[in-house]
Amino acid sequence: MTETRAEIRLATQELRNDLPFYTKVLGMRLDMIYPADDPEVAVLSGHGLRLRIQKGAAEAPGTLRILTEDPDSFAGGQRSLTAPNGTRVEIEDLNPPVMLPQTEHAFVVRRLADQAPWVIGRAGMHYRDLVPSRLGGAVIASHIRIPDGGPVPDMVHFHRVGFQLIFCIKGWVDVVYEDQGGPIRLHAGDCFIQPPEIRHRVLEASDGIEVIEIGVPAEHVTEIDHEMVLPTPHLRPDREWQGQRFVFNQSKSGVFAPSRLPGFVARDTTIHAGTKGVASVMVLRPDGHEARWTRHAGDILFTFVMAGEMTLEGEGKAPFRLSPGDAFVIPPGMATRYAEPSADLELLEVSLPGNPVTSLE
């Protein structure tokens, strides 16, 4: 096999001034230097990079970012340096903690009939934004579909998140997860909790597959893992990632019981237990009794209409008649009522933290 290398060229005016900085301060290795009598080119490598520092090169000074698990002990703890050749060097944490922004609470109603066109996102999937404001960056809620089924051009990857839900509302999709055995088929009504940084890969989907994906925070990194091969050889259903377990909940095994809302029953997807209270995910249906005005004392309360119709009433707001594909967010402390539900109404309710305290008006 033919060997191939890539290198980044940086300009310098005086090579002898740069070598001590790149080798001693940044800890890179000198691989090549020439000509011997009056060096004009030096090639160095380290931290996954190969640099060619060339005297008189035309490039303007660039920025070199070095990510390390211990930035305080790298380069004397400095976080920003400038090399003799003008290159800016930034030292950052290799695994920074996930930052959860303060929620900017708002009453949000997103109706399918008013929605802008779907956009094409990762792996060719179509995305529809259900909470455009992202509540100040606190959460992202996406309605995702794959119109044409078959193999999905996905790679083994993971997400640096605090919480992530995949709930199937139509069709089926096959996904394989780290330490969870072979491929798992998610059918309509089923859901996954993807713990922070669990490796996974979407394999295949039916025609017209649709899922709801909730992620906290809204902006989070998706990272490709080029080394891991799925499925992994070990089955570890009780393994935890940052305190959360992988959850695969099937609708066929669910039981409906009285919910936090009068007039509705709920199917608990066991996500409250799997995330140790980080979130709860419920499927709500009307029970034939009168709906009441209520207030919740949680943080984020997101609801998606999966089937049927209802009228969302909120204090100080005009009522909204909602149908399948519509979504809404209710801020804490706001009184609302889910009025005039059709007999076939089915709602997906996601709350963070889980099981918010609810009071009757």
pLDDT tens-place string over residues 133-176: 999 999 999 999 888 889 988 999 999 999 999 999 999 999 99
- 246 lies in a domain? yes
What phi, psi does 245 have (nearest 5°)?
-100, 155
Q: Is 303 left (phi over 0), alpha (psi -120 to 50) or beta?
A: beta
- Classify residue 137 by its DSSP letter: G
Q: Is 180 left (phi over 0), alpha (psi -120 to 50) or beta?
A: alpha
- Classify residue 235 by its DSSP letter: B
Q: Is the predicted pLDDT of residue 116 greater than 70, yes or no?
A: no
Do 330 and 292 belong together in one domain? yes
Do 85 and 130 belong together in one domain? no
Q: Is the predicted pLDDT of residue 122 greater than 70, yes or no?
A: no
Q: Is 16 helix (H, G, I), strand (E, B) or coil?
A: helix
Per-residue pLDDT averaged across 183-206, rounded?
96
Query: Which among 250, 285, 305 is the end of a domain?
Result: 250
Do 240 and 257 belong together in one domain? no
- 41 lies in a domain? yes
Nearest CA-CA partner of 88 in 80, 96, 78, 97: 80
Give the C-alpha separation, 20 to 18, whole Å.
6
pLDDT band at 119 (very low <50, low <70, confident <90, very high): confident
Query: Which among 250, 275, 310 is the end of a domain?
Result: 250
Total structural domains within the chain: 3
Q: Is the predicted pLDDT of residue 342 greater than 90, yes or no?
A: yes
Per-residue pLDDT averaged across 47-72, rounded?
94
Q: What is the CATH number of the domain that holds 294?
A: 2.60.120.10
For residue 123, the model assigns a pLDDT of 63
- 3 lies in a domain? no
Residue 222: which domain range?
A: 113-250
Do 142 and 67 belong together in one domain? no
pLDDT band at 58 (very low <50, low <70, confident <90, very high): very high
Instruction: Please state the pTM of the whole predicted model.
Output: 0.85
Do 233 and 279 belong together in one domain? no
Q: Is 136 left (phi over 0), alpha (psi -120 to 50) or beta?
A: left
